[in-house]
Structure 1
Amino acid sequence: MFLKLSGLRIKIHRKHTLLQVFLICVILISIYQLHTRRNGVQETQSKADNGGRVEWRDWHDYVAIARDAEREGIGEQGRPAALPSGYDKEVVAASWQVYGFNALLSEQISVERAVPDFRHSRCLSMTYYKVLPKTSIIIVHRNEHPSVLQRTLHSLWNRTPHELLHELILVDDFSTSPPFEASLEQKLLTKFGTKLKILKLSVHQGLIRARVAGARLATGEALVFLDAHVEATHNWLPPLLQPIVDNPQASTTPNIDIIDYDTFEYIEGTPARGGFDWNFVYVELPLLPEEQAALPAPHNNPVMNGGLFAIGAKFFWHLGAYDEALEVWGGEQFELSFKIWMCGGRLLEVPCSRFGHLYRDGKFAVKYTNGTDDYQGKNFKRVALVWLDEYQDVLYKYNPELVQIDVGDVSKRRALRERLQCKPFKWFLDTIAPDLVRKYPPFAPPNYASGAIQSVAAPQLCLDLMQLPVENPIGVLRPCSSNLKNPIDSQNWQLTFHRHLQQEKDYCLEVQSNEPNAFIWLWLCHYEGGNQFWYYDHQSQLLMQGEPWTERRCLEANVNSRRLYMNICDSSNVNMKWNFGLVNQSLLDNFFEGLQANEEMK
């Protein structure tokens, strides 16, 4: 009996042990399944969050493209247009004086006109991420012509994927003339619905603060800032957004085409890199050879032109947005570009995204404010104090008037730079734009030659500017100044390290024709060689225009009429011989050294 009971107890104990083991296994399996399920949910969520970043999509709207291809009419397909006969010339002239472009012609062109597609052929077949950020487009306008503004808005509406277009924010910076009529507002609101938000500022803030006001209203994941006088092309937005998805600290700019202010012709622009000279004037730099070879891939852009760019909303605010102590406009694109690069970001131009930009007549002076202060000078100095480090002294060297300008307190902006642990400005110049300092050196190398340009045929006569305005033909000989090395201003010329023949204020001599007896012109320096490239041969005394691999012309004097012309060089012609007041012979002996190797940086 005892043995039976003992065996029973053993069996019961074994069953109990097996039950415990079973329960433990069940618990372990349950924990494993729960853990696996949780990981699975997280993995699924991660894939959802990545939203198909591994999935690609052709974002082209082929219906809209086909519809545009069929459009006919004045200015359609970007063709040049003209006003019909019968317009009063005084009315046309008055319109030009108000806007700086052919405003009456703009009214004749459809606000939904089609424009040509100048994208690189490979852009046509490119796909982008299936999921891209919802985008707020911010446009500031002040006294903009209604037809131009409507063309901007309609081109965006017709050529932007609506699932990406979160909102259009139109900021009216206290327009006074023409008033943005309520009927037009209502028409736009009816057309664009709830995606259009109109913000009216009660006082004039200027472009910079008005953009920040629009950004505060925005709720999109990405922000696109645009000028009010642009025309979007097809599939412009996805190429701008994809680099921002890849790198949330990236900002992107489109390739900018030109809309002619007279005919509204849509003219193809070329990819470029932005920069600046030491007057803080925005300039364009050529693509580096490897960037040119990789087109249409996005390429580094040292400085944005400021009018059109995209940026992640979080990154924009992380950088401190714009400095709202900057006045009206000017310098803000430098501040933002420097911040992007120096504070951990990247700025790219995206050639597969294109916009047409309406540029006003260069002779038209836009009045941005009724104030008399040098607001741009203030802006430049404020940017320099915060971001240029020791290079701010270079800016003051070229612009000594900035030294006396009061720019207010910059301590908060300096604290922002410190908090973001931004790199030095020298790093920006050395790493991001090394060719900029070669083209616009902080301290200009000596001139090849300078002073008066004296005729050998008539030594009493020298080349004189006669204080003519820029963009005029010149070519007058006048009695030479008594000091040829340091003559009067109108006779003081420099053959610079850029190989320009120029006077102060970036005015250069250029030749615009290869015809016999061609005029020479005074023009703004473009720093691209070509028709502004000059060489002085101190042995033959010829003053030649044209690069060594082109057919050159030489400056020739007609001593009887005291006029100057360009003709085929002839070293035996005494009328083509000239003396400079001061010649740096050793520099001239090496004038062409490295020229071809650095041709892209001339």
Structure 2
Amino acid sequence: MEVYTTVLNYPFLKIVALPLWILLVLLLLHLDLSHWNGLMGSISHPGLGENGTGSYLSVPSSEIVAYTQGWQRYGYNAWLAERISLFRSLPDLRDPRCEKFKYYDDPDVMKPASIVLIFRNEQLMVLLRTLHSLVVRTPSHLYVELILVNDHSDMDFWKEKLSVFLFETYVLRYIHSKARIIHLNKKVGLIKARNFAANLAKGENLVFVDAQVEFTEGWLVPLLETISEQSLTLATPILDKLDEQNLAYHRSEERLGIYDWSLRRREVPLTKDGRYQLPRPYGVAAVRTSVFAIRTLWFQDLSNFDTELQGFGGAELELSFKVWRSGGRIVQVPCSRVGHLQPTDQDYLRRYGDLYKISKKVTKNLKRIVELWIDDPILKSTIYRYQPHLINISVGDLRESRKLYQQYDCQSFKSFINDVMPELWLMKPLNRTDFAMGNVRPLEHPQICLTVSAESKFVVLEPCKANNTLQNWTLSYLNDLRVVGNICAEVQSNLQLGYNFCHNLGGRQSLHFDEVTNQLVSNTKCLEFGSKVNIFMGFCNAKNKKQKWILDNINLSVMQNGT
């Protein structure tokens, strides 16, 4: 993989010698003049967000546009995120019993790590806050290097070479003087970016971190201690929540991560015995990869299982299967706590590219994972009942991956359930059947079809074409309308019909078909077309012909029974 690293070749600026705040001002001024207000806000409110408290500021009328655009672009209160100090303090929410644990901080036993952060089109202030909290709360002897991999950021601040130069200068001057900052010349996705960084790493251990986290005191030692005790171990902290509205730091309860029959990650309570063992580390079936530690050589070895996975879809599922079923373990470490900013609205994923293209990669990744790792035909058919859109997806070549699977003598999927997540057997698989599949057409104009428009970011009406995947809808058993398996029609704030990644939680993605009136209903409103490019939710009126729709291949018995 070819990469380039920006060369610090602006000697006339003499920026390296500038004080911290002047350099930060230059960073923000180059980003956008409006960000000067954000910087002044953080200075005039020096206690804002301190100790992880929630922050509440009234948005002045002159800043409403910036406030709204921040939410649309990042999926959280980006306007407020710019007004909180880069160096804010955080609470120590560890169990008091953690202080009684003795960690052998011996370099001969606890080998230092290479810390790797992958980012793409991140908000500058949030990324810098992540980096500052990292270096301030991580003893320098516990890591040998900091590797930052920019996965071809191409929006806003990151488009300009001078911006990137200012960022590099700031990092090297005020965060880590020997940080390795690598800029990929094309977008490769999270999976390949991690593998690329792992092959460059000098440390015997790897610690991967997201760009939207904040670290608390003592977070790293328990992770390194855990993987030093048993080499084939992947260790994760408890991910506390950074509130998307006010950036408050909230403690999360210890829970078990497992997968359901659709292979989606779920959180379930610890057993009584599990709660009794706290705050000792405990095994989980499903990993969360926002922050995790692992042996470098082992991660490099595991990375060879499937080199064709793209983007970030399926990264956690595949890593969970690889670790457990090749003889390793995934351990959650309650005495390590890290705050994670995870927007609930997945619209933020647009920063990684067009949702349709992303969804195609996610779907193909999932199909490859199912075909490689689900070896029991009955259990595989159960999963395909929950993910019927995968059945006709081309899986590509899996011969090399299957050879490795056999060489590792990987544990069977049934044994994995029995040994690692027996809770899955309690989730009795149901014979899920979707309500309809095919084109969705207006009754008045049956020659045009509901279509996902990547160009407009909305759902529109276009002439029906055979084999157009963007017109092949499924009205699923979850009462949503989806294409390509992972993209769902979603009602926007202006009531127009847009689309987003499916989240299976209803709300703005909830749609059901009234077979008596032929209306598509979302909550209390009905889908209506005003023109080919104006599809919106209007007040339901059974006499309104513009609210009448034809759905192909309706399973009427299932729809009437509601199963």
Give the TM-score band, short-chain normalised. Answer: 0.5 to 0.7
Matches of 1:149 and 1:91, distance apart in 2: 19
Match of 2:236 in 1: 253
1:363 positional shift:
6.1
Matches of 1:388 and 1:270, distance apart in 2: 31
| 1:501-534, Cα deviation, whole Å (9 max, x unpaired) | x86799xxxxxxxxxxxxxxxx9669xxxxxxxx
1:210 positional shift:
1.0
Match of 2:298 in 1: 315
1:117 counterpart SS class: coil
Contact between 1:83 and 1:104, CA under 8 Å: does it hold in 2?
no
Amino acid at match of 2:172: L
Matches of 2:98 and 2:321, distance apart in 1: 29
Structure 2, unaligned stretches of length 5 or more?
1-44, 436-474, 483-502, 507-559
The normalised TM-score by structure 2 is 0.65
Match of 2:139 in 1: 161
Contact between 2:385 and 2:432, CA under 8 Å: does it hold in 1?
no
Match of 2:321 in 1: 338
1:214 positional shift:
1.2
Match of 2:288 in 1: 305
1:84 positional shift:
4.7
Match of 1:103 in 2: 78
1:381 counterpart SS class: helix
Matches of 2:562 and 2:311, distance apart in 1: 45
1:322 positional shift:
6.6
Match of 2:338 in 1: 355
Cα pair distance change 1:95/1:72, threshold 3 Å: closer
Match of 2:256 in 1: 273
Match of 1:192 in 2: 175
Cα-Cα RMSD: 2.8
1:283 counterpart SS class: strand
Amino acid at match of 1:96: W
1:365 positional shift:
4.6
Cα pair distance change 1:420/1:322, threshold 3 Å: closer
1:389 counterpart SS class: coil
1:108 counterpart SS class: coil
Match of 1:444 in 2: 430
1:310 counterpart SS class: strand
Matched, 1:170 2:159: no
1:393 positional shift:
2.2
Cα pair distance change 1:125/1:426, threshold 3 Å: same
Give the alignment partner of residue 369 of structure 1, picking from 335, 346, 353.
353
1:404 counterpart SS class: coil
Match of 2:406 in 1: 418
Matches of 1:205 and 1:353, distance apart in 2: 30
Matched, 1:94 2:80: no
Contact between 1:256 and 1:270, CA under 8 Å: does it hold in 2?
no
1:296 positional shift:
0.2
Alignment coverage as a number of residue pairs:
393
Amino acid at match of 1:151: R
Cα pair distance change 1:363/1:504, threshold 3 Å: closer
The residue correspondences of 1:466-481 to structure 2 (distance < 5 A) are: none
Cα pair distance change 1:287/1:321, threshold 3 Å: farther
Matched, 1:385 2:371: yes
Contact between 1:330 and 1:379, CA under 8 Å: does it hold in 2?
yes
Contact between 1:322 and 1:332, CA under 8 Å: does it hold in 2?
no
Contact between 2:256 and 2:269, CA under 8 Å: does it hold in 1?
yes
Matches of 2:81 and 2:265, distance apart in 1: 28
Q: Which has the higher contact order (CA 8 A, sep 6+)?
A: 2
Matches of 1:365 and 1:203, distance apart in 2: 20
Match of 2:27 in 1: none
2:245 counterpart SS class: coil
Contact between 1:253 and 1:348, CA under 8 Å: does it hold in 2?
yes
Matches of 2:303 and 2:310, distance apart in 1: 16
Amino acid at match of 1:160: T
Matches of 1:378 and 1:162, distance apart in 2: 41
Amino acid at match of 2:292: F
Matched, 1:232 2:215: yes
| 1:30-69, Cα deviation, whole Å (9 max, x unpaired) | xxxxxxxxxxxxxxxxxxxxxxxxxxxxxxxxxxxxxxxx
Cα pair distance change 1:348/1:91, threshold 3 Å: same
Cα pair distance change 1:133/1:259, threshold 3 Å: same
Match of 1:73 in 2: 47
Matches of 1:446 and 1:179, distance apart in 2: 46
Match of 1:537 in 2: none
1:239 counterpart SS class: helix
Matched, 1:141 2:119: yes
Match of 1:152 in 2: 130
1:85 positional shift:
4.6
List structure 1 segments (4+ residues) > 4 angstroms apart after TM superposition.
Answer: 502-506, 523-526, 581-584
